[in-house]
Each structure stands twice: as structure tokens, then as C-alpha cells.
Chains A and B, each alone.
Chain A
């Protein structure tokens, strides 16, 4: 499903955020990407979502070598991928409904389905009662959950979440993780970047640990 082969990423500033990172994530697997702030977690997720290209090495996602994916195929590729952004990335002048509906709208989902699925997604993150609110009328944690609802509403085969519980209380964090678990059980592959070590340990899931842009010794820890 996802395969990194000696991937390095050097930014224009000259900073090498990732150095020779290799790992694999199987289809239907749910894993954590861990590491301290600045370790390179978001950089890995950006490479998976084709928001940037590696400086060296090869990234394969959903069976495709991303360096060989033509520009015109990128929108279709992104529609197969639900992404929760660390900074939420909501449209501040649209309602919660419109924000969550966006992936369905760009995928030309019929209107009848659209309403039902947006409501279902919002229900799963506990925000059905805020459906007409604007993002700025929401707490940061609520905004984060809108971002999560938007990532799951299209039922993508691959879910990539960057600190999805960073602004949530422990109770809500566990509920979101349980939600991701159910998506995994339904067949999705789930990658979660987090530095909430308590949550990671509690989940008992495999973690890919980054230290200063490299895999921690052994690379993959249980």
C-alpha cells in the first residue's frame, strides 16, 4: 500500500528533513508515525499525499510510483486519499456542512447521497449539531474534528492524519482512534502522525518512529 525506499527530503532552505527513510505499510494496516517535533512526520505525510516530491529515493502509494504519476492523474489520486491536516485547512467562509461535503462535491457525488454521508461523517465526530456553523465559531478541537469528518466522508481506501488528536481531550482522542480503528476494520489503510505517546502505547499499534529525519534504531518498533 505504502512503500518508502531510501527516501530523503531536503527543503529549499537546505535543511534535510528526511534522510534515507525506508518502510512499508501493508494494505488494511493502521500505524502510528511518531517522533518529536521537527522529526519529519509531516514531511513523510506530505510525500504520501503527493504534496511534495522526494529529493532522493522512491515513494509508492496505492500501488503507484508517485514520481511517475502524470500531473493529470493527481486529482484522482488525491480523491482516493483522506487527509487530516495538522492546521485543519478549513474554508472559513463556508459552513461546516460545506467543508465536509467538499471531497464529495469534487468527486461529483449525487446530491441525495451527499447530504446523508456528510451527516453520517459529522455524527461520527460528534458535531452533527454544529452542521450550519462557520469554522471560526468553533473551538480548535471542534475545527479539528471537522477536518477529520472531511477526511473520512469519502470513505477513502487510504487515510492519512497529521496530529488528528493534537487539540482533543483524552476521551475524545480515544473516540477518534476508535473511529479510525473501525475504518481500518472496514478495509482502509490508516497512517496517523502523533507525538501523544500515551495514546500510541494504549493503542498497541505498530509505530514508525522518526528521530531527526531518520528511522529510530531498527526503524520499526512495536
Chain B
């Protein structure tokens, strides 16, 4: 067991030594791998951040029922009372035209201009929130149609519509991230595979001699596999740095943008879980590339004996 460990440690250190001795070549390869890992990971992080917002919003779909301007308030209040008795409605709130106007005057700072209008241009509104069990798209749509058919009603607006659209867009983006991620993963495998192929070529004499003294295929393959795994691992570490740096750089402008839309959207910074996943992906991809190259190349090599 300890011999086994020592052998692997030795192969790892040997592979690491080789990478360190060619810092430029190693750096370029690691950078390519890091970029290939950063793109889908950053994309995924963005989608996750957005879906957290949409999850919060999804439970808060509101319907605003705008009444025709001439509708008297008691009629509206009667309608509200009617709605409160229905099981699929959880809360009902009447916003009178006066309240709305006062609110607008306060918020907009257009008090003088609005006062000059004389007549209140705002309608009476019932704001209602469906109960959780009636928040499905079909139920909401049915409710919206019913309310819109009332003679006093001008229009019914579903305020949560954008969250549904967002959810659909996010599902699309998630799939896109997976596709792009899959393609770039293949790219990492190809890059590492090609590097290992070249490395095997340049160390042909060494491989020959090792075979001549009885080195098993596993023994000969081992340092190349470690090299591939190291490339992938180092690429993941660099990708993580890029992601952290990128999220720090974007965090402030993104939250400013979000606040201006009245949202709590915040860019998720990558954490240990993301790092572990990225590292595992990098190592696995590097290993795969190295394995494919080593199996193909070493199978093709046979020791020659020239004298």
C-alpha cells in the first residue's frame, strides 16, 4: 500500500516537475483550459443567480384589475368583497384612485403638475394575489379572463408574467450553458490529448528504453495521466480565479442595475462547492484526454532495437 502510494506520488511529482520546467508552454495550455472552463462555469453562475431571483418572485404573482374611470368606488368595493370569498384568492386589496394619486405625487415629485390636472386621471384598482394552489399558469389565466369579462373592468394585468418568461428564458439559457459546456469540455479533452500526444512523441526514446527493461504499460502511461490531470486541475484553479475576479468586478454594477429595476438580484460569487465541482471537472477532463492519447499512442509504439 505504501509502495503503491509512493509510486503514485513519485509519478505526480515527476509530472509536476516537467510542467514547472517548461513554464511558458505549461502556462499557455493551462490558460486555454482555464478559459474553456470559465465560460460555461460563469454562464452557469449567472443563470443560477437569476434563477434564485425568479424563484423568489415565482410565488408572488399579482393580478391588478384596472376599472373603467367612471366606476364608482362602492361598486369596486363590492367586487372586492366578492373576490375575498373565493378560495383561489388569498389576498385582495382595493387601491382607490385617490390613494394612487397621492402615492404618485409623493413618489414622483410631480405634485404640482398633477394638481394642475384638476381631474384625477387614475382608475380604481383591485390588487389581488391568488392562493398558492391557484398560481399555476392555467389557473391564473382563467382568473384573468373571468375578471377581464366584468363590465366595469378596463384591463387585467398579470404582474408575475415576466417571472414566467424569465423562468422560460432561464431554462433555455441553462440548456445553452450545458451545450456550450459540453462542447468546451470536448475542447479541453482534445487540447490535453494533443499535448500528451506530442509529449509522448518527444519522449519516444525514453518510452522505448522503459519498455526494453520491462516497464508495464501502466507504468509507462502513469506519468502522462498525471500530466493530463495536472493540466486540467491547474486550468480549474485558474478558471476559479478568473470567475472570482470577474464576479467581484461585476458585482457592484450588476446590483446597481438590479436596484434600479427594484430587484434584489445579486451576482452569486463562486464558493467552495463550485470550486470542488470545477476542479473535479478539470481533472477528469484532463485525465480523459491523456488517457485517450496515451492508449492510442502507446499501443502504436513498439520498442525497436537498432544496432
A residues in contact (CB < 8 Å) with B: 42, 46, 49, 51-52, 75-81, 83, 85-87, 89-92, 102-103, 106-108, 110-111, 150, 162
Contact = CB atoms under 8 A, between A and B. Distances in A.
A81 B212 CA distance: 10
Interface of B: 3, 6-7, 205-206, 208-217, 219, 303-307
Contacts of B208: 89
Contacts of B303: 51
Contact of B213 (A86, A92, A102): A102
A91 B205 contact: yes
Contact of A106 (B3, B216, B306): B216
A75 B211 contact: yes
Given A91-B206, A111-B6, A52 B305 contact: yes
Contacts, number: 62
28 contacts: A49-B212, A49-B305, A51-B304, A52-B305, A75-B215, A75-B219, A76-B214, A77-B214, A78-B211, A78-B212, A79-B214, A81-B214, A83-B212, A83-B213, A85-B212, A85-B305, A87-B307, A89-B209, A89-B212, A91-B205, A91-B209, A102-B210, A106-B210, A106-B216, A108-B7, A110-B3, A150-B213, A162-B307
A87 B204 CA distance: 16
A42 B304 CA distance: 12
Given A106-B219, A108-B7, A79 B213 contact: yes
A80 B214 CA distance: 8
Contacts of B306: 87
B300 to A, nearest CB: 14
B298 to A, nearest CB: 12
A46 B304 CA distance: 9
Quick one: which of A90, A108, A110 has the most chain B CB within 10 A? A108
Contact of A51 (B209, B213, B305): B305
Contacts of B210: 102, 106
Please classify the interface of chain B as helix (H, G, I), strand (E, B), loop, or mixed, using the class held by over half of its residues: helix
Quick one: which of B6, B210, B304 has the most chain A CB within 10 A? B210
A106 B307 contact: no
Contacts of A86: 307
B206 to A, nearest CB: 6
Contacts of A89: 208-209, 212
B3 A78 contact: no
Nearest to B213: A103
A108 B213 CA distance: 12
Given A75-B215, A87-B307, A110-B3, 11 more contacts: A75-B211, A76-B214, A78-B211, A78-B213, A78-B214, A80-B214, A91-B205, A91-B206, A102-B210, A106-B216, A108-B3
A87 B197 CA distance: 27
Contacts of A92: 205
A21 B219 CA distance: 36
Nearest to A76: B214
Contacts of B6: 111
The 4 A-B pairs at the shortest CB distance, nearest first, are namely A79-B214, A78-B214, A86-B307, A106-B215
A85 B307 contact: yes
Contacts of B212: 49, 51, 78, 83, 85, 89
A76 B307 CA distance: 24
Contacts of A80: 214
B209 A102 contact: yes
A106 to B, nearest CB: 4
A38 to B, nearest CB: 11
A83 B212 CA distance: 8
A42 B307 contact: yes
B137 to A, nearest CB: 62
Nearest to A151: B213
Contacts of A77: 214
Contacts of A42: 305, 307
Contacts of B211: 75, 78
Nearest to B10: A105
A186 B305 CA distance: 28
B20 to A, nearest CB: 15
Quick one: which of B206, B211, B303, B307 has the most chain A CB within 10 A? B307
Contacts of A102: 209-210, 213, 215
A91 B210 CA distance: 9
A75 B305 contact: no
Contacts of B215: 75, 102, 106
A162 B214 CA distance: 18
Nearest to A107: B214
A92 B208 CA distance: 13
A45 B289 CA distance: 38
